[in-house]
Amino acid sequence: MKDDFVCTQSASSSITIEKDVELLEFAKVSESSFDICSTGTPIVQGKTKYNKAQVNQKAIYLDISLSWGNKKNILNLTIFSPTGASYGPYKAKSTNKIVLRIKPKTGKHLQGGNWKLNVFGKSIIRTEYYTLKAAYYI
CB 54 within 8 A of CB 23: yes
* Residues spanned by the domain of 79: 5-137
3-state secondary structure of 130: strand
Starting at the edge strand that comes first in sequence, how are the strands of the sheet with 61-68 ordered? 5-9, 97-104, 61-68, 127-137, 33-44, 27-28
Model confidence over 36-95: pLDDT tens digits? 788 889 999 999 999 888 899 999 989 999 999 999 999 999 999 999 989 999 998 878
- How many domains, in total, are found in the chain? 1
Predicted TM-score (pTM) of the model is 0.80
**What pLDDT does residue 25 have?**
63
CA–CA distance, 15 with 111 (Å, rounded to integer): 22
Model confidence over 96-107: pLDDT tens digits? 999 999 988 888
How many CB atoms neighbour CB 121 within 10 A? 21
